[in-house]
Structure 1
């Protein structure tokens, strides 16, 4: 078995048009630094936006999609003062603008755990039962496609306070809870729109 780690952040948002979006921004991974986006439309169609064929192959082997689009995915990050941050995420299909607020109560708890512990699969196994109860739909370990196993080691958590943009030229609308939960894999993002700093370990 081989284990690989992806270090970065996952953003999950819902919109008033019924589109739910999960952005992965990976600063360090076996595939290099990249961003990918998982989109589930109001009618349940699941789409992967991947920057190249290698990322598309790896992500689609781990998660489930109805269609895959290979297109450059860019993330521009801006500090806007008082601990807030903005991201602009864009590709041929997507133009997404996100605003993040201060650290949440969960984020403050996560920051109390030393990183080397929080990032370990063993700790993710301990936190999984708690995550299932406290954060509906969230898992910190589980089985993915093709016999793969995953562990999500969260180290920080901030709320998303605003979203705007378009997907396939149609306006996304305003910020809403991430409901119904997207069906990409065994775990979902928190119902409350948020960004989670995370180390994801994948075994296959």
Structure 2
């Protein structure tokens, strides 16, 4: 069972999300929060697998909350605008992906499942476009900080996997590119994130692109 915490400052939105997610047999909504600060508190108390969280909320916004939830829960950010610059910041903060609020029930449920598996929500094509847009729109931002020792500890194969993540490839596509099992790729990705102290696959992709500039 995938446990989910909902964080949105609109009660009606939370009610709608709860109804959609509760329709899935493998997902259970275990709590709700009306702002980012409450989301962090509830996540630490309830230990959900995924926090489905709005970007713009009072007291603490979704970006700051996502940064605090690294290592606590995977974050799926929801936004009303596909080009909202705040989404870029949320991904840099460690969120595992984002979804528009007008997504249908099936898309939302699948997104929660993907994030719960520890994978990036965004499809490879969208990831490439998103990262490219990030580079054009936010060139003045400081690069994502990465531990130099962690980077130096990457094996040649892990370095290859990181580069392919930066190109927006999925685990299946990386497996085909490198001639290995998809499960092996998943293990490499997990080690890369751990060694670089990155919160999500999307954050690793952004870092890889910044590193190659």
TM-score with structure 2 setting the length: 0.25
Q: Structure 1 or 2: larger strand share?
A: 1
Structure showing greater radius of gyration is 2
Q: Structure 1 or 2: larger helix share?
A: 2
Which one has more relative contact order, counting CA pairs under 8 Å at least 6 apart? 1
TM-score with structure 1 setting the length: 0.25
